[in-house]
Amino acid sequence: MLLDGATATELQRRGFEMQPPLWSAQALLTPEGRAALLEIHGEYVEAGADIITANTFRTTRKAVSASNQRIAAAELTAIAIGLARQAIDQFAGDRQVLIAGSLAPIGDAYRPEDTPSSGILREEHHDSIAGLLDAGADLILAETINTWREAEVIGALCREMQAPFIVSFVCNHDGLLLSGEDYAPLTRFVTEFAPLAISVNCSNLAATHLALSRLPSVSDLALGAYPNVEDRSTELADTPGGYLRPNVSTRQFVEFISESASRYGLSLVGGCCGTSPRYIAALRKLVDAGAM
């Protein structure tokens, strides 16, 4: 299955700023932002993505409440899912394209120490998952997850709510979870919660490779990877939101995915921060050529 690519950095390319607490979800509040999101989703559909990720990474109750906007989190989630559905209806033709509801960590995605208590995680994620399902998401994509504790809360909720889901972890430079945890709990997690796939995302190519090499072998488990391609050492001061320049070419990206698919048996691929429809179109050619 081919995932789409980045949404937030595509919004930045189009001149939209990324500011907390809503980040990319800020675009859902204006006609201009919604038009840009429809355009981005449409370009990914046309590029050949099998799964479009709705712009719900920060439509959580916590983020929306902190923004002081007069809109409910569920309403913002419904707008995001609706834009993904509209893009599929307009551009997919006879192809079946699924909608993934993006589910973010409750704390800062890049600060595992900010992960709240399990009780808060359960309450917040229950509301988010319910909102995504009610709005019409085909599956839950829990992405940039940085601790096993949060992954397990999400797994338990998806099992209880009968929601098909994928968990995708963000890694440190050693290929471990950003929390420093290893992948020892993976076999038990898969047995207990039956995710559709386990993936690695929002990590550079080297960290993604290390993470995939560390994953224990689990029978019949689908593996995925959608790395980022940003140079996080070079910030462009004249770009809204501090957009970071991609430093991995389309060719390098496709070669990495092809080699990883061959080595680790990937069955779910796509792109994270810095990727664009051009990267996904290149992956589509790879998939259609039977190179995976």
How do strand 230-235 and strand 51-54 relate by DSSP bridges? unpaired
| Tokens, residue 136 | 């019409």
Kindly report, residue by residue over 200-216, the tens digit of the pLDDT: 999 999 999 999 999 99
| Spatial distance between the Cα atoms of 115 and 132, rounded to a whole number of angstroms | 21
Q: State the pLDDT at residue 67.
A: 94
How big is the CA angle at 173 (ends 108 and 237), to the nearest 5 degrees?
60
Burial category of 191 from C-beta neighbours within 10 Å (exposed 0-12, middle 13-18, buried 19 and up): exposed
Mean pLDDT confidence for 272-284: 96
| Spatial distance between the Cα atoms of 126 and 142, rounded to a whole number of angstroms | 13
Report the length, in residues, of the chain.
Answer: 292
| Spatial distance between the Cα atoms of 167 and 142, rounded to a whole number of angstroms | 5
The residues facing 165 across adjacent strands are 140
Residue 181's SS3 state is: coil
Given a cut of 80, is residue 240 above it in pLDDT? no
| Tokens, residue 38 | 């429809």
Domain 8-288 has CATH 3.40.50.300: no
pLDDT band with cut points at 50, 70 and 90 for residue 291: low
pLDDT band with cut points at 50, 70 and 90 for residue 245: low
The residues facing 168 across adjacent strands are 199
State residue 277 phi and psi, 5-degree precision.
-55, -30
pLDDT band with cut points at 50, 70 and 90 for residue 220: confident
| Spatial distance between the Cα atoms of 159 and 103, rounded to a whole number of angstroms | 15
Kindly report, residue by residue over 11-70, the tens digit of the pLDDT: 999 999 889 999 999 999 999 999 999 999 999 999 999 999 999 999 999 999 999 899
| Tokens, residue 196 | 């559709």
Q: State the pLDDT at residue 234.
A: 39
How do strand 266-269 and strand 223-226 relate by DSSP bridges? parallel
User: What is the pTM for the complete model shown?
Assistant: 0.94
Kindly give, in sequence order, each residue whose CB lies less than 8 Å from that of residue 165, ignoring residues fewer than 6 positions away. 139, 140, 141, 142, 154, 155, 158, 195, 196
